[in-house]
């Protein structure tokens, strides 16, 4: 090659094309690495946990952000296991463009609930090939507790639930990420 600046491109199926500029000098060799980025979605839910305290009968809305840290479009579906009337999620499904995000309303509704322990689990399924399933344990446990000695003040406390990565083994079987 003649001395000068050259642009090199590398491409592979399933990856974004990478390019780099290389300066060639007379009588000198050069080695250039080109990093290729997999053209896949990468799901990342935020926050990784909530703490909500409210009086019985109140409604609190928290925001769950589903980020896509990859270049390809992310498709997601949320569900509760089991579905309970005091927790609502909207929207429950959608698409997030590469390097984008989607806000999700998570509504905790203590209307009509009695003091006690309530539990459910939020599952986030997506087309992320590395982490197709996240689980948030909404209520580890969700507790409605009575506060005060003389006055009866009832409150709903939701604490400690986090999204856990669910991995798959070499046979494509789900491996519990909590273990």
- Choose the weakest-confidence range: 52-61, 62-71, 132-141, 152-161: 152-161
Q: What is the pTM of this model?
A: 0.71
Quickly list H helices, the chain: none
At 151, the pLDDT band (50, 70, 90 cuts) reads very low
Beta strands in the chain (DSSP E): 4-10, 18-24, 43-46, 49-55, 59-68, 74-80, 87-90, 93-96, 101-109, 116-118, 122-126, 133-136, 142-147, 153-168, 174-175
């Amino acid at each position: 090659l003649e001395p000068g600046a050259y642009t090199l491109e590398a491409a592979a199926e399933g990856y974004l094309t990478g390019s780099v500029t290389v300066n060639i000098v007379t009588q000198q060799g050069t080695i250039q690495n080109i990093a290729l980025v997999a053209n896949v979605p990468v799901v990342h839910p935020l926050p990784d946990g909530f703490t909500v305290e409210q009086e019985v009968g109140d409604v609190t809305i928290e925001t769950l952000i589903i980020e896509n840290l990859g270049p390809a479009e992310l498709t997601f579906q949320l569900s509760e296991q089991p579905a309970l009337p005091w927790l609502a999620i909207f929207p429950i499904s959608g698409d997030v463009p590469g390097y984008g995000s989607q806000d999700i309303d998570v509504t905790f509704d203590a209307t009509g609930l009695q003091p006690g322990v309530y539990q459910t689990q939020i599952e986030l399924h997506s087309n992320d090939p590395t982490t197709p399933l996240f689980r948030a344990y909404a209520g580890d446990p969700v507790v409605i507790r009575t506060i005060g000695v003389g006055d009866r003040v009832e409150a709903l406390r939701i604490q400690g639930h986090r999204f856990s990565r669910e991995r798959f083994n070499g046979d494509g079987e789900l491996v519990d990420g909590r273990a």
